[in-house]
Chains A and B, each alone.
Chain A
Amino acid sequence: DQQVKQNSPSLSVQEGRISILNCDYTNSMFDYFLWYKKYPAEGPTFLISISSIKDKNEDGRFTVFLNKSAKHLSLHIVPSQPGDSAVYFCAASVGAGKSTFGDGTTLTVKP
Chain B
Amino acid sequence: NAGVTQTPKFRVLKTGQSMTLLCAQDMNHEYMYWYRQDPGMGLRLIHYSVGEGTTAKGEVPDGYNVSRLKKQNFLLGLESAAPSQTSVYFCASTNRGVTGELFFGEGSRLTVL
Contacts and interface: CB of A to CB of B under 8 A. Distances in A.
Interface of A: 4, 6, 9, 32, 34, 36, 41-46, 49, 51, 89, 93, 95-104
B102 interface: yes
A92 B17 CA distance: 35
5 contacts: A41-B106, A44-B90, A89-B42, A96-B100, A98-B58
B104 A101 contact: no
Nearest to A49: B99
A43 B42 contact: no
| 9 residue pairs, one from A and one from B, having the closest CB atoms | A43-B104, A96-B100, A101-B42, A49-B99, A101-B43, A103-B42, A46-B101, A96-B96, A43-B106
B8 to A, nearest CB: 14
Q: Helix, strand, loop or mixed for chain B's interface?
A: loop
Contacts of B78: none
Contact of B99 (A4, A32, A43): A32
Given A34-B99, A97-B96, A43 B40 contact: no
Contacts of A36: 102, 104
Given A6-B42, A34-B102, A99-B45, 18 more contacts: A9-B40, A32-B99, A34-B100, A41-B106, A41-B107, A42-B107, A44-B102, A45-B104, A46-B101, A93-B100, A96-B96, A96-B100, A97-B100, A98-B45, A98-B48, A101-B44, A102-B42, A103-B40
